[in-house]
Amino acid sequence: MSTQCLAKMFSTHIGIDLGTANCLVYVRDKGIVLNEPSVVAIKESTREVLNVGSEAKSMLGKCPGNIKAIRPMKDGVIADFEITEEMLRYFIQKAIRTVPWRKRLLHPRVLVAVPSGITEVENRAVKDSAKRAGAGEVVLVEEPMAAAVGVGLPVAEPAGSMIVDIGGGTTEVAVISLSGIVGARSVRVGGDELDLAIIQHMKRVYNLSIGELTAEQIKIRLGSAYPVKDEESLEVKGLDLVSRVPKTVRITAAEIRMALSEPITTIIEAVRSTLERCPPDLAADLIDRGIMLAGGGAMLSGLDKLLTEETGLPVFVSEEPLNAVAKGTGVMLQEDSIWTT
């Protein structure tokens, strides 16, 4: 029996969307089995891992002095190799427990989605971390391609399809045709930059210090890229930087939209520059096909309207933007040709 057949019968095939904010794991024939924050809680003195995922995220900004909750991924790439390896090991082992015992006999074959703009050194770091975390064969795929496949774009056709995948650390913009990326732009701006813009706005305008979790909640509740009717306001609690005591202020959706304008402009410029470099025949296809948005940032209210206004093209938000890349890896896992052995 060939190595390929043995691997198919006795190993688990896993697709990983290794995101800056969240990690999603897809197991072949099972679907998405895991969706957890890319956060790890460690004991600082020994770097012992205490919690991973949702439990670790709940500890952000609330840990005692000897415990620290960290994000080992930054801007779509590995910032802390040792902790990323531990996080991957936790997620891979958790995914393996969902499959029959005979599928656990060999090391899992792992397909990892990575940003299109990362270097060869960063590529190698992702592969090495996955292998040390327990993976057998590791194959990398560019995130925009996985996202395009995941949202159902006809990537194999001889026509242009455009995907904008706005993740936690990066925004991936790509024009795809004949199963290949014709033009792409990767900018290290995403959901984390939007959160940071809100944190800085609260400090600058209200002298109020807020944490990452609070900023994320403000973004979800009030964040927008385009004016809407009946805009809400929200009470925000934080630490007054002058009196050093807790304080509550009320903020509006309009001011948060202004606070988010700089990172949103960076995303729009990435889309525009990709369109400018697009071959004329493929650009003509986009007039009818438009632009597809994926990733968590795609859910920012009014972003599709703003992009339509800025580009003149129809813009659509995918049905499950958060799951797009993971679903794409799942489709690719059905193709045995992706493996080198």
Mean pLDDT, all residues of the chain: 91
Give 51-108 pLDDT, tens digit per residue: 999 999 988 888 887 899 999 998 888 889 899 999 999 999 999 888 877 667 788 9
Check residues 229 and 266 and name the one with the higher pLDDT. 266
pLDDT tens, residue by residue, 221-233: 999 999 988 889 9
Point out the annotated binding site for ATP.
Answer: 20-22, 168-170, 216-219
Task: Please tell us whether the domain made up of 157-189+265-322 is placed in CATH 3.30.420.40.
Answer: yes
- What top-level class would CATH report for the domain 3-35+78-146+325-339? alpha beta
pLDDT at 340: 59
pLDDT for 165: 97
Residue 2, pLDDT above cutoff 60: no
Q: Where in the sequence of the chain do the CATH 3.30.420.40 domains occur?
A: 3-35+78-146+325-339, 157-189+265-322
Confidence band, pLDDT 50/70/90 cuts, at residue 170: very high
Mean pLDDT (whole number) for 114-127: 88
Give the lowest-confidence range in 3-17, 76-90, 264-278.
3-17
Indicate the pTM of the whole model: 0.90
Mean pLDDT of 207-232: 93
SS3 labels along the chain: CCHHHHHHHHCCEEEEEECCCEEEEEECCCEEEEEEECCEEEECCCCEEEEECHHHHCCCCCCCCCEEEECCEECCEECCHHHHHHHHHHHHHHHHCCCCHHHHCCCCEEEEEECCCCCHHHHHHHHHHHHHCCCCCEEEEEHHHHHHHHCCCCCCCCCCEEEEEECCCCEEEEEEECCEEEEEEEECCCHHHHHHHHHHHHHHHHCEECCHHHHHHHHHHHCECCCCCCCCEEEEEEEECCCCCEEEEEEEHHHHHHHCHHHHHHHHHHHHHHHHCCCHHHHHHHHHHCEEEECHHHHCECHHHHHHHHHCCCEEECCCHHHHHHHHHHHHHCCHHHCCC
Annotated binding site: 20-22, 168-170, 216-219
Condensed to tens digits (0 to 9), the pLDDT of residues 14-61 reads 999 999 999 999 999 899 999 999 999 999 888 899 999 999 998 888
Of the CATH numbers 3.40.50.2300, 3.90.640.10, 3.40.50.80, 3.40.50.300, which one belongs to the domain with range 191-259? 3.90.640.10
Please tell me the predicted confidence (pLDDT) of residue 52.
94
